[in-house]
Amino acid sequence: MENFQYILPEIFISIAIMLFLLVGVFKKNSSILIYNLSTISLVILLALIINLSSLNKIYLFNSSYQIDNLSNYMKIILVGSGVFVMLTGSKYIQVINLNKIEYPILILSSILGMMIMISSNDLIVFYMGLELQSLALYVLASFNRDNLLSTESGLKYFVLSALSSGLLLYGCSLIYGFSESTNFDQILINSTVFNYGKTFGIVFILVGLAFKISAVPFHMWAPDVYQGSPTSVTLFFAILPKIAALSVFIKFLYTPFANMNDQWQTIIVFISIASMIFGAVAAIGQKNLKRLIAYSSISHMGYALAGLATVSNQGIQSSITYISIYLVMNLAFFSCLFMLKRNDNYYENIEDLSGLSKKHPILSFSFLIVLFSLAGIPPLAGFFAKFYIFLAVIEQSMYFLAIVGLLATVVAAFYYLRIIKIIYFDQEKDGYETSHNLGLKITLAISTIFILAYFIYPSGITEIVSKITMI
């Protein structure tokens, strides 16, 4: 029991989930109460994790659970963005009548699952965490059950995700069979000799993970799910599962499979290039902003994976920096989306932004900053994210990857510019409501200022991230 303190955050959030369920069952009309309590418990959770973050590497439960710099940092940004997701969405789910007690509880359980994924050091623990987060996500995707698109997206996500989980599980069993252990460190020790069984195992596991992170060619679910789900859930989808999946990617590639980088490096390079190009090209024709951001996130994941493909600490750190900046940009983008509200209706088509700048200069300015940052134009934060990635990629002399990636940013710049054009150059339409909840405003302000002022002190994130070393 002396290690109890190290897993306190997970225990705290589990108890909170069960407690809130009980409250929900026994107290009528408690949905708002539970929503607020969940937000508060996430803040406490964040504090608990930060409290642990000064520790060194710690193994728990027969070394199937690991707490180190990587897991701590990832958990901090995971729970931190969880808090902001709750803050921004609070008004939205009330307006579209989704404020049921299950909603915050599902989000909390999904976050718990992700935390277990991030810390897992064992195939079985990892799979448990993965399924916990996935099950919650299936329900969340179809949470707006009276809406045809939402139901469709939930079902689609369930079917495809179950398939990928199956592949992943098969990969896990192959790995177990050929390396005689489920423990990551043990697999690394046992995998000094090359054999095809393990290679197959790696491929299956990578396929499953690529699905979770929505990288090409396993991205098919993303646009539909993003569009169909309620916007607050889309925001959740766009950030949190990606953080968890990227963290697991790093963990898998650099712990159990570290000796086999000649096997997986080409796969990651391919997935990365395909995602960058496909995400950039496919987004051009989109009319729905949520769908567009789905394609945009596909291409962003391509960049994050490019960092991992380098097999260097620099690369891993650049990927983590990338995802940190990516999540802020997405928070800002979705906060802007939540502000497009008129008469209890939320608008999400690109055309609805037409001429926004005349009536809503501040909102348009935020959009402008976010979109240029997503496109990676200096001096905004998005540029530094890409800069670190290419710094790492070119260090390993992977010029092809770097040039393709940078050319893809030019293509991607086109569709971001198109939105800016519609906001700033086109004829104005009806205005939107200007009163929003405080959480939304604060989130938008913080994230926009972060993006805008990142260049003043760019070493902040880098210094924290540079403690994470895997090799």
Partner 1 sequence: MNFPILSSLILLPTIGALFILFTKSSSGKYQSSKYVALFISLVNFLLSLYLWYVFDKNSIDFQFVENREWLSGFINYKVGIDGISILFIILTTFITPICIISVNATIKNRLKDFLIAILIMETFMIGVFCSLDLIVFYLFFEAGLIPMFLIIGIWGGDRRVYSAFKFFLYTLLGSVLMLVAIISIYWITGTTDVERLYELGIQTDYQNLLWLAFFSSFAVKTPMWPVHTWLPDAHVEAPTVGSVLLAAILLKMAGYGFIRFSIGLFPIASENFTMLVYILSLIAIIYTSLVALMQEDMKKLIAYSSVAHMGFVTLGIFTMTQQGIEGSIFQMISHGLVSAALFLSVGVVYERHHTRLINKYGGLVSIMPRYAIVFMVFTLGALGLPGTTGFVGEFLILMGAFEKNILVAMIASLGVILGAAYMLWLFKRVIFGEITNQQLKSMKDLKTFEIITLSALVIPILFFGFYPEPLMNSIEASVENTLNMYNFDLINNLASKD
Site track 413-432 with partner 1 (rule: CB under 8 A), x = hit = xx--x--xx--xx-------
Q: Say how many residues touch partner 1, by CB under 8 A.
A: 31
Interface with partner 1 (CB under 8 A), residue from 96, 406, 442, 445 = 406
- As measured in angstroms, the least distance from the Cβ of 40 to partner 1 is 35
The reply to whether 455 sits near partner 1 by the rule CB under 8 A is yes
Whichever of 175 and 277 has its CB closer to partner 1, that residue is 277
The reply to whether 316 sits near partner 1 by the rule CB under 8 A is no
- As measured in angstroms, the least distance from the Cβ of 469 to partner 1 is 15
- Cα separation, 84 vs 298, in Å, equals 22
Whichever of 149 and 411 has its CB closer to partner 1, that residue is 411
Whichever of 6 and 365 has its CB closer to partner 1, that residue is 365
Q: Name the residue among 111, 117, 115 with its Cα closest to residue 130.
A: 117
- As measured in angstroms, the least distance from the Cβ of 459 to partner 1 is 4
- Cα separation, 298 vs 54, in Å, equals 33
Interface with partner 1 (CB under 8 A), residue from 284, 407, 438, 471 = 407
The reply to whether 379 sits near partner 1 by the rule CB under 8 A is yes
Q: CB under 8 Å to 230, separation ≥6 — which residues? A: 92, 93, 96, 98, 143, 144, 150
Whichever of 420 and 470 has its CB closer to partner 1, that residue is 420
Site track 325-364 with partner 1 (rule: CB under 8 A), x = hit = ------------------------------------x---
Whichever of 159 and 407 has its CB closer to partner 1, that residue is 407
Q: Is the peptide bond before 379 cis (omega within 30 degrees of 0)?
A: yes
The reply to whether 183 sits near partner 1 by the rule CB under 8 A is no
The reply to whether 464 sits near partner 1 by the rule CB under 8 A is no
Whichever of 151 and 379 has its CB closer to partner 1, that residue is 379
The reply to whether 69 sits near partner 1 by the rule CB under 8 A is no
Question: Which residues, listed in sequence order, are joined to residue 120 by a DSSP beta bridge?
Answer: 65
Interface with partner 1 (CB under 8 A), residue from 377, 442, 445, 446 = 377
- As measured in angstroms, the least distance from the Cβ of 176 to partner 1 is 40
Count of Cβ atoms closer than 10 Å to residue 99 Cβ? 18
The reply to whether 190 sits near partner 1 by the rule CB under 8 A is no
* Packing angle of the helix pair 289-308, 196-213 (nearest 10 deg): 150
Helix residue ranges, H only, 2-122:
8-26, 31-52, 69-95, 102-119
The reply to whether 162 sits near partner 1 by the rule CB under 8 A is no
**Side-chain-side CA neighbours of residue 433 (13 Å):** 13
Q: Which pair of structure tokens corresponds to residue 251?
A: 């963990």
Interface with partner 1 (CB under 8 A), residue from 394, 442, 445, 446 = 394
- CB-count burial class (<10 Å; 0-12, 13-18, 19+) for 102: middle
The reply to whether 22 sits near partner 1 by the rule CB under 8 A is no
* Packing angle of the helix pair 8-26, 31-52 (nearest 10 deg): 170
- As measured in angstroms, the least distance from the Cβ of 424 to partner 1 is 6
- As measured in angstroms, the least distance from the Cβ of 458 to partner 1 is 5
Question: Which residues, listed in sequence order, are joined to residue 59 by a DSSP beta bridge?
Answer: 66
Q: Which pair of structure tokens corresponds to residue 56?
A: 């060194």
Q: Which stretch binds partner 1 (CB under 8 A): 210-218, 263-271, 323-331, 382-390?
A: 382-390
- Cα separation, 284 vs 286, in Å, equals 6
Q: Which stretch binds partner 1 (CB under 8 A): 214-222, 241-249, 259-267, 459-467?
A: 459-467
The reply to whether 445 sits near partner 1 by the rule CB under 8 A is no
Whichever of 261 and 462 has its CB closer to partner 1, that residue is 462
Q: Which stretch binds partner 1 (CB under 8 A): 119-127, 195-203, 385-393, 428-436?
A: 385-393
- As measured in angstroms, the least distance from the Cβ of 432 to partner 1 is 19
- Cα separation, 128 vs 248, in Å, equals 13
Q: Name the residue among 354, 369, 214 with its Cα closest to residue 293.
A: 214
Coil, strand, or helix at residue 111? helix
Whether the CA torsion 220, 327, 306, 166 is positive or negative: it is negative
- Cα separation, 368 vs 364, in Å, equals 6
CB distance 221 to 157 below 8 Å: yes
Count of Cβ atoms closer than 10 Å to residue 318 Cβ? 29
Helix (H) or strand (E) holding 59: strand 58-60
- As measured in angstroms, the least distance from the Cβ of 305 to partner 1 is 19
Q: Is the peptide bond before 104 cis (omega within 30 degrees of 0)?
A: no
- Cα separation, 179 vs 457, in Å, equals 46
Interface with partner 1 (CB under 8 A), residue from 30, 173, 265, 462 = 462
Whichever of 90 and 317 has its CB closer to partner 1, that residue is 317
CB distance 10 to 67 below 8 Å: no
Interacting residues toward partner 1 by CB under 8 A: 361, 372, 377-379, 383, 387, 390-391, 394-395, 399, 402-403, 406-407, 409-410, 413-414, 417, 420-421, 424-425, 455, 458-459, 462-463, 466
